[in-house]
Amino acid sequence: MTVKSGHGMVTADWADGTYAFRLAYGQIFELQEKFRIGPPELLFKLQSDRWNLEHISETIRCALIGGGADPAKALSLMRRYIYERPYRESHPLAVAIVMACMVSPDPVDLREDAKSPGESTVATENAPSSESSTTASSTETVQ
Model confidence pLDDT, tens digit, residues 78-127: 999 999 999 899 999 999 999 999 885 555 555 666 554 444 444 444 33
CB contact at 8 A, 139 and 122: yes
Cα separation of the two ends of the chain:
17
At 12-52, the pLDDT tens digits run: 999 999 999 999 999 999 999 999 999 999 999 999 989 99
